[in-house]
Amino acid sequence: MPHSQDTDVLRTLRYFKSAGLRVSFLVPTATGLEKSIMDATLEIREFLLSHKLHDFSKQQQGQDHKVSLNTALLSKGKVEYTKTSLYRPNTKSGDPRIWVLGLKALCNPYDLLALIASSNGLVIINCNQSNLYEILDSKNVIFKEIITPCLISVREPAKDLLEKMEEISSLGFIQTKRKGDTGVGYTLETLLGISANNSRAPDYRGIEIKSKRYRSGKGRRSTIFSQVPNWDLSRLKSSRDLLSERGRFSKKKNRVQLFHELSTLKSNSFDMRLLVDTTKDQLQQIYTAKEPHILDVLWDFPLLKRRLSEKHCETFWVTAKTKGKNGAETEKFWYNTVKHTGGIDLSAFPILLELGVITLDYTIKETLTGGAKDQGYLFKMNSTDLDLLFNHVTEYNFVT
């Protein structure tokens, strides 16, 4: 995804998420605006497909097979009702294209366009030329008439659970029903009438419940999933190969090891960096100390997204304020904050990688026999940024 020259993409994404909206971004270049043509990037294609608006993979080439979507274009204080064309030209192998009719008059080169799926097409907001604070205000006429139909509806089980959480919160501080660190979760489940079990199934009518004690300060990086590279397509064919070429000897541990964080934003001290290649639908790890850069290993995005989806579901993240010593029999909890998340926003995943929000940790060490052992290829992000990864995020603060 190209970056807007004037708008903070991450901050804008967070703003839409807080309003309960799933978006994808498009940035027209000067050439694109002049020729009235833009590439439908991988993120755009997946966004349209996931909302069942269009499937480029099934579209034939040529103008006869062009598809148009009804579009509400918001820019410069105006709402223009227009059409968005989706097509594959006869030239250049039919690379997917997208164009919004009338865009030239309401957009400058490198403006950040946010695409939102609606019941009958698209809503497109020019973030550089719009006051998002006003547009995303639920009291605003534009929000009520145009944005509200795009909001993700809350399932009935979630509404039921939310009512129960509000009742529990109204009780104030409740003494733990189990001594130890797990008391915060066990007490809440007991209040909800959930029996303790070892099942991996969601806790409440298909909804996972995760509870924790309130802690001040910035959240730490959390592992969201782990996935080894595609060794068959990679230049390096194993963790042993990766350790041999990129690892360094640790005097403290008396071994060769490779414990390091990698990001798309810049090379780390080991001269390694991540690269999102949307043309090949891959995440690549490159070595940047030499020119041209050396491609070490890669991951296929379809597999990464499948792994990510497998690890997450609809969840209530409950935070409790506490009284008393952590884990003591006399500890008390006030369950006063709930964050409701539903589904993984797969179109946001590559964007968050490109913005450096999601990073990758190598955890490879040399064994006593000279082999290599890894503790996972860990994809991580700060816990404070987890909201950006979900389709639906709503926070509730039950303060009496």
Domain ranges for the chain:
9-150, 154-400
Nearest alpha carbon to residue 274 among 345, 364, 352, 347: 352
**What amino acid is encoded at 344 in this protein?**
I
Residue 3 pLDDT: 56
Closest listed residue to residue 285, CA positions, set 271, 295, 300: 295
pTM for this structure?
A: 0.64
Which pLDDT score, from 0 to 100, does residue 178 have? 93
Exposed, middle or buried by CB within 10 Å (0-12, 13-18, 19+), for 120? exposed
Instruction: For residue 321, report the phi and psi dihedrals to the nearest 5 degrees.
Output: -75, 150
Assign domain 154-400 to a CATH class.
alpha beta
pLDDT at 309: 80
Cβ neighbour number for residue 210 with a 10 Å cutoff: 14
Mean pLDDT by runs of 10 across the 400 residues of the chain is: 64 83 90 91 88 92 92 90 94 88 93 89 92 80 75 75 92 94 91 73 73 71 87 96 94 92 95 93 95 95 87 80 92 91 83 94 92 92 82 75
| pLDDT for res 144 | 76
Per DSSP, what are the bridge partners of residue 38? 98
pLDDT at 308: 84
